[in-house]
Amino acid sequence: MINIVLFGKPGAGKGTQADFLKHKYNLVHLSTGDIFRFNMKNDTELGKLAKSYIDNGDLVPDEVTINMLQDEVEKNPQAKGFLFDGFPRTIAQAEALDKFLAGKNQEITATVALEANDEILVQRLLERGKTSGRADDQDEEKIRNRYQEYNEKTAPLMDYYKAQHKFYAVDGIGTIEEVTERLSLVLDTFQ
């Protein structure tokens, strides 16, 4: 079983590459954004709780996020592995994920960061914003704020996984195929 954590700034190609990775390695893709939206749309207890925080403009506490993710893992007992996308975002979440997986005799196999120059990504998102309809992809200042938050929050996570020798950086610039090839070179070593 391989369990991968996929990192990347907005616009780095995480969604595109996650779609490839889940198929090639037969992984269950767990996107926290998708899980939040599903639980809120379906009015689950965890969804109502998450919505109460979001509606107040607050961040959803780690405990709620972790419980949602654990529910999704439990729903997939036959999985050959998981691709965690958008989680963990904090050291506390990473530690909780490690503890949860250890209870199932599993662990994170690798964390992979799609790295790219901010200036290239800003232009990519502004271009995407012309068709995506997402307001946060149309405002350069908001994009740069998202990158600043990413840098502040993920730097400690990178160090956390580097200390476990589970962190790999992959150049996220190039064609989809080129980036896919780079990711495969890293992940094929765990097959």
Active site residues: 14, 89, 128, 134, 146
Alpha-carbon Rg for the chain in angstroms: 17
Q: 73 to each of 31, 47, 70, how far by Cα in Å?
A: 12, 16, 5
Helices vs. strands in the chain: H and E counts, helices first: 8, 5
Is 174 annotated as contributing to ligand binding? yes
Is 13 annotated as contributing to ligand binding? yes
- Separation CA 95–CA 113 (nearest Å): 18
Is 93 annotated as contributing to ligand binding? yes
Is 89 annotated as contributing to ligand binding? yes
Is 182 annotated as contributing to ligand binding? no
- Separation CA 44–CA 60 (nearest Å): 15
Is 10 annotated as contributing to ligand binding? no
The binding site for ATP consists of 11-16, 128, 174
Task: List binding-site positions.
Answer: 11-16, 32, 37, 58-60, 86-89, 93, 128, 134, 146, 174
Annotated binding site for AMP: 32, 37, 58-60, 86-89, 93, 134, 146
